[in-house]
Amino acid sequence: MPGLGASFGRGGATNFLEDLSNSDCIVIEGSNMAECHPVGFQWVSEAKARGAKIVHIDPRFTRTSAIADLHVPLRMGTDIAFLGGLIKYVLDNDLYFKDYVVAYTNASALVNEEFADTEDLDGLFSGFDAENRMYDDSSWQYDPEEPNHSGAEQPAEAAEQERTDDHPDVKKTDRAQAAGSGGPTIPAKPRRDETLQHPRSVFQILKRHYARYTPEMVSEVCGIEPEVFLQVAKWVTDNSNRDRTTAWVYSVGWTQHSVGAQYIRTCSILQTLLGNIGRPGGGIMALRGHASIQGSTDIPTLYNLLPGYLPMPHAMQHATLDEYVADAAGKAGFWGNKRAYMTSLLKAWWGDAATAENDFAFDYLPKINGDHSSYRTIADMIEGKVSGYFLVGENPSVGHPNGRMNRFGLANLDWMVVRDLQMIESATFWKEGPEHETGELAPETIGTEVFFMPAATHVEKEGTFTQTQRVLQWRHKAVEPPNDARSDLWFYYHLGRMLRERLADSTDPRDRPLLDLTWDYPVHGETQDPDAEAVLREINGVGPDGRALNSYMQMKDDGSTSGGCWIYTGVYADEVNQAARRVPAKQMGLAGSEWGWAWPLNRRMLYNRASADPAGKPWSERKKYVWWDEDAGEWTGSDVPDFEKNKRPDYVPPDGAKAQDALAGTDPFVMQGDGKAWLFAPAGVVDGPLPTHYEPVESVVENALYPIQANPTVERIPGPWNRENPSRSEVFPFQVTTYRLTEHHTAGGMSRTLPYLSELQPEFFVEVSPELARLRGLSNGEYATLVSARTAIEAKVLVTERMRPIRLRGGQVVHQIGMPYHWSYAGISTGDSANDLLGIALDPNTHIQEDKVSTADIIPGRRPRGPAMLDLVEDYRRRAGVQSGRVGVNGRDPVEADAGEGSNL
């Protein structure tokens, strides 16, 4: 979550769910919390019962809206305009939390003279490279302080890195995500003007950037009344001060956009100006959608990251360990210890084979040099560049946008291993599916060898999940998995063991990393199940005395400590599995400090030093949380302080101080190089230092704010299987959004296969307004067909006033369609797959697709069967001026038909 990482230094929810009950106002935007995180929603209800105002901002009226005091039905894809309007309102009316903003944010920092804003360049920032469609961010940097207080004497390696930083191959690798724990690195601390009046101060730049985001403009762009906007502005600002706090809650309604990271940045700026970060009842609650999705980025199976948000080495920048840590060497903040974290990781993986002499085996790590993310890999598969694929509890045929493209990818592999509980669509693509109906795929043409390996359920294995607020909870194994079913831990441990045995006699240097790998885990029982606690202990790390480390502060860069994921160090403190703690809630304070374990170091609320004023006193009695106890000489309160326990509030770093010692006693954002929350992001966000309203890639509306229609840096994967609907096309005249239901889970592998859940939500449907139903002749309960440049799908129609057409000021009416995306052809409850309709266009920061808004047409009746379906879609493409989407056998060679008139793709 680079949006949060670049703003505050860590890409995790700042607060915890229970803390929502302390809020005086809660804004839920980009999330249908009541239906998608139902049990978490009890804390919103709790706040409401205590008198808090609840606002729901969402194109659809849902159960969340029903509980809210106010529902704001904004047009999909316009949240930056709305939030930008709030930022302007706060600045214009002097409603920001002045003492907080001056002390804890980069509002006073001065920015480089070369910086030019979107207001000056018609919707672009300075540094745009039109050929590669990306930014060179050097003009966005701070005006550096002199003499250099951060002690960042620049090593030669760092200078070399700066030269290569803007190389397209480096940019493409999504270094933004490395800001998950540890903000982006900056060359030096900035010059500051604490009066906030300097024209190049962040504060003044912010004012100019949002000058045109007036209530009237918000109303025009978002399609809501100015009074509604002003009501939200009033509630939010009335409830954001010393005595009161407002929380913002979001989910994939924000991340799955071509400007997703920027949505979150806009909210971060607003919440920072209001002084709501690091304080009880405040913060930004990122609601993640899967049991351990936070864990899956912390200990990532992501191409560009190593555990603990250490970046994967890049071929152009990181030939040695020295080069790898150069950007952090001598830097302020905890990222300054990068070398210790990395050395400990290398020791955990390669043990005695990692020595000071061989750079701790740094060269054993493979290097990346471009975008190797999921969708890019699928395009590579279609071209036959990938031999083998492992799908581990994932069903891309249904869960990814553009299922057709995904299935063509699978059809061009040599082999595939599917580990799952059920025969998901991604395992059966070779014999069933929409492309078999159309004749584009057939078993006889598909050479992919498929191994279905049955998996263990959550109660048949032990281990930890990291939930949405960074809490690790240990699960005990209740029973053995049946028959051949095994945990993924079992599978990977034994696969690794077998590979090592096969290569035991190899002298090829390329096999050394595998042979030198530390891979002896104790095994248990008949099935030889590896011991998950031993793995957790390795993740935690071990000191020179052979005992588990208690804190990452103990990690050394000399090879005397090990640890597989530095941010998780402490989960095995005192040789105890802290994630298994289950002290009943009644026996603890609200922070629940003895229930499981939260990273970092069991801190439940991040940046909580900011809950006290610069002198260390609570901002108010009502919002007291963590404060400085002068007598004891330490920070104390109702949570573990997210700050060095004994660092005095009046501590000023001496010249030449490094890492955490270079941060002052008033720098609560300890992972940032300057200790501040970033209103303006001089680094870490590739599509601009400030969020700017662009229309979605597929929009029916013209951008009212800038001549640039959509994010100029959006990432595309062009091909006949991924055609884009042109914006403002009469052929694709309606906006579409996708979402979840309470009773189903993502691609349905864990819900459409369960009798209870299938009974509760038996079939695929789409929601349309009565106005759209009239316009298109759709009837409630009957079928309709939706068409995009990708394909056509059919669904039952639900006509409901929950969907509202939006009337814009010029008279244009925007119709919006809602589609739950859980279905496909397998399981107990079946239907067409909503994701098949969508294309893949990606946020350049995260490579996350724009799912939450696209365009389509809708017509009454069922879709055609067989090849007639291809003709229907091809006809739409032709009429919209889109290139042909016809493909040859298995989706390979495009069959080039006539591009329609005015084709631009």
Q: H-helix or E-strand containing 797? A: strand 792-799
x-marked contacts with other proteins along 542-581 as a string, rule CB under 8 A: ----------------------xx--x-----------x-
- Interface segment toward other proteins; rule CB under 8 A; list 422-430, 646-654, 781-789, 878-886: 422-430
x-marked contacts with ligand SF4 along 613-642 as a string, rule CB under 6 A: ------------------------------
Q: Which of 3, 9, 40, 434 forms a contact with other proteins (CB under 8 A)?
A: 40
Nearest CB to ligand SF4, comparing residues 38 and 867: 38
The Cα–Cα gap between 341 and 600 comes to: 14
Q: Does residue number 342 form part of the binding site for other proteins (CB under 8 A)?
A: no
Which of 863, 597, 688 lies closest to 176, judged by CA?
688
Which of other proteins, ligand SF4, none interacts with 323 (beta carbon under 5 to 8 A by kind)?
A: none
Residue 113 neighbours by CB under 8 Å, 6+ apart:
143, 200
Backbone angles phi, psi at 806, to 5 degrees: -110, 130
The interface with ligand SF4 within residues 24-43 (CB under 6 A) comprises: 37-39
* Greatest C-alpha distance within the chain: 81
Which of ligand SF4, other proteins, none interacts with 49 (beta carbon under 5 to 8 A by kind)?
A: none
Q: Does residue number 264 form part of the binding site for other proteins (CB under 8 A)?
A: no
Q: How far is the CB of 242 from other proteins (least distance, A)?
A: 27
Which of other proteins, ligand SF4, none interacts with 120 (beta carbon under 5 to 8 A by kind)?
A: none
The interface with other proteins within residues 155-184 (CB under 8 A) comprises: 169
Q: How far is the CB of 538 from other proteins (least distance, A)?
A: 8
Nearest CB to other proteins, comparing residues 18 and 832: 18
Q: Does residue number 457 form part of the binding site for other proteins (CB under 8 A)?
A: yes
Both tokens of 761, joined, read 């939500």
Report the first-to-last Cα separation within the chain, whole angstroms: 31
Q: Do residues 617 and 627 make contact, with C-beta atoms less than 8 angstroms apart?
A: yes
Q: Does residue number 132 form part of the binding site for other proteins (CB under 8 A)?
A: no
The Cα–Cα gap between 569 and 782 comes to: 56
Helices (runs of H) and strands (runs of E) counted in the chain: 27, 29
The Cα–Cα gap between 785 and 791 comes to: 10
The interface with other proteins within residues 757-786 (CB under 8 A) comprises: 757, 759-760
The Cα–Cα gap between 185 and 155 comes to: 14
The Cα–Cα gap between 614 and 629 comes to: 13
Which of 721, 672, 750 lies closest to 894, judged by CA?
721
Which of 388, 338, 467 lies closest to 18, judged by CA?
467
Both tokens of 837, joined, read 């309709």
Q: How far is the CB of 616 from other proteins (least distance, A)?
A: 28
Nearest CB to ligand SF4, comparing residues 478 and 652: 478
Nearest CB to ligand SF4, comparing residues 38 and 589: 38
User: In terms of C-beta distances under 8 Å and separation of at least 24 residues, what long-range contacts does 478-483 make, across chains too?
Assistant: 480/525, 480/527, 481/454, 481/455, 481/456, 481/457, 483/454
Q: How far is the CB of 539 from other proteins (least distance, A)?
A: 6
Q: How far is the CB of 224 from ligand SF4 (least distance, A)?
A: 30
SS (HEC) of 696-715: CCCCCCCCCCCCCCECCCCE
The interface with other proteins within residues 426-455 (CB under 8 A) comprises: 427, 430-431, 443-454
x-marked contacts with ligand SF4 along 776-815 as a string, rule CB under 6 A: ----------------------------------------
The interface with other proteins within residues 722-751 (CB under 8 A) comprises: 742-746, 750-751
Q: Does residue number 422 form part of the binding site for other proteins (CB under 8 A)?
A: yes
Q: Does residue number 297 form part of the binding site for other proteins (CB under 8 A)?
A: yes
Residue 502 neighbours by CB under 8 Å, 6+ apart:
none
Nearest CB to ligand SF4, comparing residues 38 and 388: 38
Q: Residue 856 forms beta bridges with which residues?
A: 734
Sign of torsion, CA 38 40 41 46?
Answer: positive
Q: How far is the CB of 473 from ligand SF4 (least distance, A)?
A: 11
Nearest CB to ligand SF4, comparing residues 62 and 845: 62
Which of ligand SF4, other proteins, none interacts with 436 (beta carbon under 5 to 8 A by kind)?
A: none
The Cα–Cα gap between 588 and 270 comes to: 32
Cis before 600? omega within 30: yes
The Cα–Cα gap between 855 and 738 comes to: 11
CA 457 to chain centre: 26
Q: Does residue number 25 form part of the binding site for other proteins (CB under 8 A)?
A: no
Both tokens of 29, joined, read 């935007």
Both tokens of 8, joined, read 């505050």
Phi/psi zone of residue 559: left (φ > 0), alpha (ψ -120 to 50 degrees), beta? left
The Cα–Cα gap between 258 and 724 comes to: 13
Which of other proteins, ligand SF4, none interacts with 878 (beta carbon under 5 to 8 A by kind)?
A: none
Q: How far is the CB of 341 from ligand SF4 (least distance, A)?
A: 31
Q: Does residue number 281 form part of the binding site for other proteins (CB under 8 A)?
A: no
Q: Do residues 491 and 309 make contact, with C-beta atoms less than 8 angstroms apart?
A: no
Q: How far is the CB of 677 from other proteins (least distance, A)?
A: 24
Q: How far is the CB of 332 from other proteins (least distance, A)?
A: 29
Q: Do residues 797 and 778 make contact, with C-beta atoms less than 8 angstroms apart?
A: yes
Which of other proteins, ligand SF4, none interacts with 300 (beta carbon under 5 to 8 A by kind)?
A: other proteins
Which of ligand SF4, other proteins, none interacts with 668 (beta carbon under 5 to 8 A by kind)?
A: none
Q: Does residue number 384 form part of the binding site for ligand SF4 (CB under 6 A)?
A: no
The interface with other proteins within residues 515-534 (CB under 8 A) comprises: 517, 530, 532
Task: Count residues binding other proteins (CB under 8 A).
Answer: 165
The Cα–Cα gap between 280 and 17 comes to: 11
Q: Which of 88, 244, 847, 877 forms a contact with other proteins (CB under 8 A)?
A: 847
Which residue has tokens 């038996």?
762
Q: Do residues 265 and 248 make contact, with C-beta atoms less than 8 angstroms apart?
A: no
Q: Which of 23, 611, 769, 849 forms a contact with other proteins (CB under 8 A)?
A: 849
Q: Does residue number 592 form part of the binding site for other proteins (CB under 8 A)?
A: yes
Q: Which residues of 495-510 are buried (b: 16+ CB within 10 A; e: fewer)?
A: eebeebeeeeeeeeee
The interface with other proteins within residues 593-612 (CB under 8 A) comprises: 595
Q: Does residue number 504 form part of the binding site for ligand SF4 (CB under 6 A)?
A: no
Which of other proteins, ligand SF4, none interacts with 402 (beta carbon under 5 to 8 A by kind)?
A: none
Q: Does residue number 755 form part of the binding site for ligand SF4 (CB under 6 A)?
A: no
Q: Contact residues for ligand SF4 (CB under 6 A)?
A: 37-39
